[in-house]
Every structure is written in C-alpha cells, then in structure tokens.
Structure 1
Amino acid sequence: MIDPNFRLWTGSGALLNGGPYTWHFTDFDQRRLVSVTYCSPVPIPDEDHERLDATQDLCLAKLRKHIDDLETDVVRIFFSEPEGPITTSTSQDDDETMYVNNQLPIELHIPFPVKTIRFDSMTELDRMGPNVDLVTYAGVPTADGPAADTKAAFKYWFVSNGMYRKWYELQLWARLPRDHPHIVPFDAVVLDHVRGGVIGFTNVYIPGGTLKETDATVRPFRLSWFQQLLSVVDDLNYRYGIMHQDIAARNLVIDEKDNLRIFDFNFSSRISEYYDPHRDDMKGVIFTLYEILTLDEQYRQVPHAERDTAALLLQQWEKHPDVKLDSEVHEFRKVLDDWLEERKTREFKKVGTWLQWPLMPEPPLRPAPVYGLDGAVTGTEMRPAVVLMRRQLIQLNEPYLNWERPASYQLRDVLKN
C-alpha cells in the first residue's frame, strides 16, 4: 500500500485577500482531488506569509483526519476551527478535478511494434506507491490454448504533475532491449479505453522484493550480483547512452534465475543531453555498495551535489554484523576499485546504439466551452490543452476516464474476500 507520508500531495492553492484560504490536494490512494477551504474567523494580513503558508498545514491535517470517511462524491470540505467540524460539498462548482489530455499512441513514434493494453483490462492487486500499481491482465490466447495472466507494475499519470517525466521514462524503457539479462523488461503501453490516449505503461513484475526490501540481512549478497550491476551500468552508459541517475538498492531485484536486474528509469537521462554529473552512475554504484555492506544510509540524506565519493572510498568499510555476504568485504572493494580505474580510461562516445526519441509533442486539441456575454455556454471549440477540467467535460457531455477508486483499506477487504 502507499506510504501514508506520500499519499497526499498539495497541487495548488487559492489564498484570497482576507480569506477564505483553499488548498487543492491530490489523494494518490483514491486517485481523486479534494479541495480544503479554511474559513479563518480572523483574516490573515496579506503580508503575513508565514501564517498564510501555515494554512496549508492546517488544511492538510484536517484532510488527513477525514479523508477515509468522505463520500466518493465529495469534492471540497470547509472548516473554520482547526479542531472543529467540517462541512462538505458535492457541487460541480467546487470541483477542481483535472485530468491529463493524453496524447494518442502514434505520438510515441516508437519505430517497432509495441504491445498496447487498455486500462479497463487490468485488475489492481496492490498500490506500490504514488502512480504505481501492481496489476494483472489476461494474456492473449494462442493456438496452444489460453495464455497465462500477466502480472506487471503499472506506472501512470492521471494529473499533469510528473507527466513529462513518465512520458520520457516510457520512451526510454520501451527502447531498451527486452532480452537484456540485467534489465527488467518493458511490457506494454497502456491506453485510456474511453478517449484512446496514452496514460502510462507496464513493466514485467519480478517477485521477491528489491534489495532494499530483502537486504543482505535476509539473503546473502553475492559478489556475482555486484559484478552484474557493474556490467549493466556499463551497458546503459556506453552502449545505450543512458545515465540511470538513481542507482540504489530499492531499484534492484533478483529474478528467478538468480540474476540481478535494474529498473525504474524515472530519473534517467540521455548522456548526450540533460545529464546531471552530480547523479553520475559511478557515484550511485559506490554509495549503493557501501549501504548494502554497512547498512549506513546517512548519505541518502545528503544532496547529490554534496556527496563526496573520494572521501568515502578512503574510509575503511566495516560490514554490519547482521549483513550476510558470499565473499569478504575486501573482495567487493577490489572489484569496485578495479572497475573505477577501468572507467577512468573510457569516455562517453556517441555510437549508433545510443537511444534517441522525440520530445513530448504539443498537447492535443480538446473541446472547450464558448461562453456568451451572460456567462452561459453558447457552443464549443477545439483548443490545445494539457489538462481537462472534469466539470467542463460533464458540462459538455464529453466522455472521460474516471480514475477514482476505493480507499486502500476497502481494497484489502475486497482482496480478502
């Protein structure tokens, strides 16, 4: 289930002079937007920025308290005392829900066939994090009989925040070889079954947990796994021109054949452009091995630009007593040091196998209301737009994909039964 600390996200706010003060929150668990309006008994001066900012925390605390008790059609809550009661609204006038105006699959420009599946063909099994679900869907029957169901991780966007990054990740991951022994395979592009646009993608799900979830206190960490990590990082950097930029135990899994595989390209970038040297994969490898051996994660709290790999390499690494290894620490360090020395002799040289893809195109056209002088809708016209207001879609009788779902505690009850 989604970590409660990451469940709610503040997208925007509307702080009127003298009040009321409204904040719009996205609930990643229920995939819904709820606006919270604080009607302060005493107006806050416009110049008192600290108190104005504090209204966000007040609204967030109020929503956290009531979020699982709200009816599914509630779009806004109001309160005037931090510990007082709330009132609710289901009016479309109070609905600030926006959905992404998604591109059609042709805009991906992937130069080879890619499997596509519809959103409504998937069954949710778990919520792995904001905008990431564990799902299953029926396989395609063959001449030999029915195909087994596919279990996959579904990464998606239903709000525009993060949409560009996930579109970029889709483009990158889809172009990586699916038969690479140390990369989790891309699976399919997911389409909105109502409007036909691209809303996300799936990658093959590998059970057993990440190296973060089942660390070396649970299963011994193997020297061969570390060597496989170095190999796939070299392939990404030199063969495909990709810097992963988020090497960490949480992004590494061990498959059923005991091979290490890397996934999650959310922060990845082409080395030829947009590459952040502070997130260099060599730094990621160094800190990842150090954390696996020592269980010391203090450096994860340090900004990337301030992480000093040279100083860390000069230290004597002490294995944590609970960590299990199939080789001595000095053997891991020798493999690492040899790799770092070898990397010094290589340079990033663009070759024909480096991955390329187009930027995200301009947003597609969507119907927009045309208003008369009296404020009434007199017709519609097609305009480009990144997002679609739900209340406008309803007003125009336009179809839309309803992203909302029951709260996770209700999902647990359904799965149990």
Structure 2
Amino acid sequence: MTDLLSSVQAALGLPRTPIALTSSGALPSAFAVTELASASIAAAGQATAELLHDRTGRLPALSVDRRLASFWFATSLRPLGWSVPPLWDPVAGDYATQDGWIRLHTNAPHHRRAAEQVLGPVADRPAMAARVAQWNKHDLEQAVVAAGGCAAQMRSWNDWQAHPQGQAVNAEPLVHWLAHSVGAAQPWRGSQARPLAGIKVLDLTRVLAGPIASRFLAGLGAEVLRIDPPDWNEPGVVPEVTLGKRCARLDLHDTADRQVFENLLGDADLLLHGYRADALERLGYGAAERQRIAPALIDVSLNAYGWSGPWQNRRGFDSLVQMSCGIAEAGQRWQQADKPLPLPVQALDHATGYLMAAAAIRALTERLKTGAVGSARLSLARTAKLLIEHSQGHAEDALRAEDQNDQGLLVEQTSWGPAHRLRVPLQISGTPLQWDHPASDLGAHRPQW
C-alpha cells in the first residue's frame, strides 16, 4: 500500500505522508484492488485536507476504512423494496474466437448495433457466441471498432508492452498537468464543513469514472450539474452515481441548447469530461474555445486508452481496458481458469474517478492561492499500469462480509424509491462527506445553476 499510495501522492503533488488505514482483508484478485481503492480514496481525502490546511492553517486528520473502500468500488447503494436495472446488456461479455478471447461492450444501443453490423443480428448470448467463434480475435476487434463499436481482444501484459498503444501509455504520467493562465487569486467561499461550497462543477462525464469524481466533489459541497444528450441513458449505474447532483439534458447540435451550454460553461469553476479525446473538438468546443468562454475554468478530463498513441481516440471502458492491457489474462492464469478473469470490481473506473477528484481539488487549491488556472488529464489505461506494476498477487484474508452496521442511518429518497448508502470509507475530521441531493434520473432537472 505504501508504495502504491506514494506513487499517487507524487503524481498529485501531495506530501508523501502516511494515511491511517483501518480494517483488514482484501478483495480476492491477482492484483491489490483493495490497496488501489484505499490509496485513491485516501489521495482524494488528502487533497481535501491540504486545501483546508492552506485556507485555515489547520491540517485535518484522515483515515480510510479499507473494507468500506472495497465495497464502494462495487456499489454504495442498498435499495429498499426496488432493484437497480442490470449493469450489462444481455449480449455484452467475453467470447471465444478461433484463436483466443474478445470482449464486446454493447451496453449503449448504438454500440450493440455496431457489433451486430459486423456479426449480424443476434437474440442472445449463445447466438452471439456462435458468430464470434467464426472470427479470429484481431480481425473482429478491428471490424467492430471500425463500425463505431467497442471491443477488445484479450492480451497479456507482455503483449501490451509490445503494442504501440501500450508503449504510448508507458510514456504518460498518471496525472498529466497542463498550465493555462495566471489571474488574480480567488476568494474561498467554502468552510471547514463544506470546503467546496460555492464551486460550480459542470459534469459531462458518463458511466463510472467521471461520475465517481463529481459525486465525491458534491459530497464536499460543490454544486454539480450533470449534462447528458437527449437520448443517452445508463440505467444500471445512474442510481449509484447521481447522488448529490442535478441532472439535465442538452443537445449540443442544437443552436439554442449550445447557447445554454456556453452560458453554463462561462459560469463554471470546473469542467469534468470523459468524451474521447477528439469529441469536444468536433462539437466546436476544443480546449482553446473552452478557455475563451471561461478563462478561469479548471478542466479535468479522462479517456480510456491514454492521450497519445494510435488509440488515443478509441472508444473504451474499464472492462475493455482490462482485456487490452493484460489484467483479465493475468486473472485467468492466477485462477487457472478456462476464460478471462477480470478484477472483482470495476476498479480502474473507480480509482481514476477519485484521482480525478483529487486532481480537481489540487487545481482549485492552486487557483485559490495564486490565481493559476491548470488542467489535468487521466486515463483508465494509465491507472491500469499503476495497479499492475505496484501490486502483483498477495495472500491477504478475504474481507469480512457486509452487515447492517455498514449502512448509514439516513434513508435516501431517490427517483426510484428509498435506499440506504453504505457508510463512507473516508473520514476527514471536521469535514463530513454529505450530499444535498438524493440520486435522480438523467434529465430530471433544468439546465441552470
């Protein structure tokens, strides 16, 4: 843990001080997933503590419960009398090809259509398996990606090291900092209890990593407004990740909606986005235009496969990156299994989310101090490299099973029904993580601050 945490602290410019960890046990995996969960949450907490230290002169005490951190990397929500929809589309998953394995990611309807454009329409997994079995993995990966879909053949870590994209990721930092401009130091509108009060966060992220970041920021008092396109939905994760936020829809191909978006952006302190590297540029909102609209804007972004190399604009998700970079193959060998074995949770997404939140808070701290406006870029593939290189197998006992005491006392009245959340794994003395809004459906609010 010390080694992994110190790497994260160095990437974020945080003091390399130890952070108190409580509870024992670990998620079963070929990799130190519990350590990654604890380190990334600890880093977000430490960034918060350093902001408070800078503003108040007092450094709060921190601790992270490793067991609760592991559970939050799966899901924090415990519905009362209702169920969250399934996370995966019925035909999403791993399939055997003629010469290995491939993963198809078909959760979004247009991604499923792309896969079926290549493989033909299918009704269920057995039908898809029969189609996939006729292909070799490289050709099928290429064909699905070319059709606008999402697929990843299973590679080993050594294969990934020899791949041009693996080599590109190796050359990238865990957090890539970009300096923009220097203006006047900003007044702090927060307090010890709500350190991010008064900070407006415009959230253009989807599915997991980015929404995990903005959920954390909302828990510290930031005003988070999530914007989605008119037809986007992700029912399996929305109840988990929209806690603390308001959620609206805008069509950035519509002139009136673009004006609304530009007004929102102009008033934002922080933009979070997780589109492919070229997507905002194609919408007319490249980095230079964003800076023109909002000169003091802090911009924190992520993508799947890194910000350089031939795959920098490739669609990707946590499960695909695990297949590409050797994690699923290492899991298969670790378990001596007959198929790919991913991590027990989507740890690349969650960890990258907390690292994004930490980077955002570091940038906000710097803007408060000096007026300097900076941005940060992260990627799932670079977080995967951190995990792989710092944490090959371990023999810790399994985590103690969840019990009633792990749930918070409050009942959250979500858009779908009442629910509990697990108790938060991070304790910052004098600064409780607490959210002002229950989880709500996408498009439930108006696009305004």
TM range (shorter): under 0.3
> 1 or 2, which has the higher helix percentage?
2
TM-score, normalising length from structure 1? 0.23
Q: Max radius of gyration: which structure?
A: 1
> 1 or 2, which has the higher strand percentage?
1
Q: Which has the higher contact order (CA 8 A, sep 6+)?
A: 2
